[in-house]
Amino acid sequence: MRAVISVYRKEGVEKLARALVNLGYEILSTGGTARYLREHGIETEEIAKVTGFPEILNGRVKTLHPVIHGGILYRDWVEKDREEIDELGILPVDVVVVNLYPFEEMMREELQQEELMEFIDIGGPSMIRAAAKNFFRVIVLVDPEDYDWVVEKLEKGSLSKSDRAYLAWKAFSHTAYYDSVISTALKSLFNIEEEGKELSIPMRLSSKLRYGENPHQKGTLYVNPFEELGIARSQILQGKEMSFNNYLDADSAVRIALEFPNDPACVIVKHNNPCGVATGSDLLEAFRRAKETDPESAFGGIVAFNDKVGLKVAEELTSMFLEVVVAPEFEEEALSVLSKKKNLRVIRFLGMSNTYDVKKVSGGFLIQDEDGELYSRLEVVTERKPTELEMRDLLFAWKVCKYVKSNAIVIAKEGQTLGIGSGQVSRVDSLRCAIEKARRHGFDLKGAVLASEAFFPFRDSIDTAHDAGITAVIHPGGSIRDEEVIGAAREHGMAMVLTGMRHFRH
């Protein structure tokens, strides 16, 4: 019996090789791995001696040889295969242990193109794929976590067909991920802008979740190697494990909080919609004002801050039931207070990185750029211009509106959301919901502003807003009835600003 071992990362391979030798396997290896195993007292034959052909091109060609691949791909149940390897003097290979050049790690080192390309493994993936294809006879190992249980089963007798099939699946998944990382990296490295006819998105398992959106659905969290930040990379400092819905809500919350880099801001999200957003002189004021928007919905919500959480904020947070608190930093005293809420998830958010947005539909996927822009222009289309305070509030409301489910309406005043309408199939119904909520929680809408993430199809929303006391409106424009809508604002003496950019969120 023979085993080929050729690994870049040597962790655990010494123990594996020694166990295989004790089981009667002859070890074949490439230069670096062979030296490592010999240094640890394990007898190894270099592949170059087996093939009768030296490693060439500075190690680029080591295992690409019929003696090796013939030994791996040989089928002992096919008579012609048995005749051919006997005639050619090829001995079967029964185990293949390979891990690959660290392209993923090296792509972050800002190497020149020629340097980075040297970390693309060729022989390794070829052997892995050959062994996985012939899993009926060959054991293929690409994950050091599998070394111990495979040895244990071999010591007890042999691996079952299902064990070998499992290892083959892992092997093909491993090379698919590896190639996907390379493809994605080279698209950026070579400045290729066109969309490819084929697309593979690399994802690596981060954690298995308790369930998905509902308990009967499985849920998992995968990370994208090209996004080193984001909610998937955040640090869980305390509390129960994050759920599928926690990740969705926390992602929405931090995205909104990051829209306000120059002011202390707090965002409260419930069911992936903001239910309260505010800025303040400090985070404590911002939290209180955000909670005031809709204290009923804030119960059991996800809270995000854009600055370090201190003791006073932590004490306020523990006065109510919350699922998650997210911030870039926490003072030690704050963590001590928050720790009294054992189930409260406290998350340190390290920042945001954007690549693309992926949505699943039946039969396929929809892929788009992240919605990273805010507006293409700010055009005042009414005779009355917004006051300085109104313009600040219009931009505040516009930033929040970008993250509200369509049809989206945000009513705001003095850096605080007063009413949020979301998810209605009619825009005027979203507005009515926002007004009703604001009034129910005691807000005076006189002098408030209104943001709509898409154009108004009719003037009815403007009339309704005016009747509620709203004095300024921001929306993208672009309706065939824009003049009617703008005319309504002029009639009421309201200020209206067009952004030229909509922000649907389905």
Q: So which residues are the catalytic ones?
A: 133, 271
Instruction: Please state the φ and ψ torsions of residue 341, each to the nearest 5 degrees.
Output: -95, 90
438 in Cβ contact with 459 (< 8 Å):
no
**Dihedral angle computed from the Cα positions of residues 334, 339, 345 and 349, in that order, rounded to the nearest 10 degrees:** 30
Q: Please report the sign of the dihedral spanned by the C-alpha atoms of residue 5, residue 9, residue 10, residue 12.
A: negative
Alpha-carbon distance of 444 to 45, in angstroms, equals 84
HSE-up (13 A, CA, CB side) for residue 135: 20
Distances (CA, A) of 426 to 270, 400, 431, 450, 459: 21, 19, 9, 16, 13
Q: Which residues pair with 28 in a beta bridge?
A: 4, 45
Alpha-carbon distance of 314 to 301, in angstroms, equals 15
Alpha-carbon distance of 16 to 195, in angstroms, equals 43
Alpha-carbon distance of 480 to 474, in angstroms, equals 17
Is the bond preceding residue 407 a cis peptide, omega within 30 degrees? yes
Alpha-carbon distance of 149 to 321, in angstroms, equals 45
